[in-house]
Amino acid sequence: MLALLIALGCTGKDSVDVDSGSATDDSSEPQQDDVSPRLSDALAYCYEHTTGDTFYQWSLTVVYDDPQGLDNVPSSFHMVEVYKSDNLVTDIELLACDTNSGNCLGSFKADAYDVLCPGAADDYEFKIIVTDYDGNEGSATVAGYEAVNSQGDPKE
């Protein structure tokens, strides 16, 4: 991770596109600093939940690292903002984070917040925000997609 940050500093790029892992010059994303959580490997996907009641569900995952240590991030109440056509659809205190592994996850029923699936999954962008105990925020924005199962395997 440190090598990636050094490489970005050397190229003069401001952020990393978590969808492809390529550097981008997007000034709308927060710039990295030495105190905020850093997010990677973000996913937002919906799938048909079929155990018990059948419904469509969104699942979100992200991995974080924090310069002050993984345990400097609370284990719950991290935000997810959902956008459609650059308009905020909803914001939810959703993610729970494991302070031992740095993995965060959360899920919600698609109809609970009018974040439609199936057929419209790729219309949504998800901004995942992790805040540490010091109030420093790290964020990643990722496009939603429809999966064939709860593991996030893309529907073809």
pLDDT at 2 exceeding the cut of 60: no
| Per-domain residue ranges of the chain | 26-146
pLDDT digits (tens, 9 = 90+) for 25-45: 333 444 567 889 999 999 999
Whether the predicted pLDDT of 20 surpasses 70: no
Instruction: Kindly report whether the global pTM for this prediction surpasses the value 0.85.
Output: no
Please give the average per-residue pLDDT across 127-156, as a whole number.
92
Mean pLDDT within 11-34: 41
Q: Give the rounded percent of residues in the chain with a pLDDT score beyond 90.
A: 63
Beta bridge partners of 56: 48
DSSP 2-35: HHHHHHHHHHT--EE-TTT--EE--TTSPPP-SS
Q: What is the CATH number of domain 26-146?
A: 2.60.40.1220
| Mean pLDDT, residues 82-93 taken together | 95
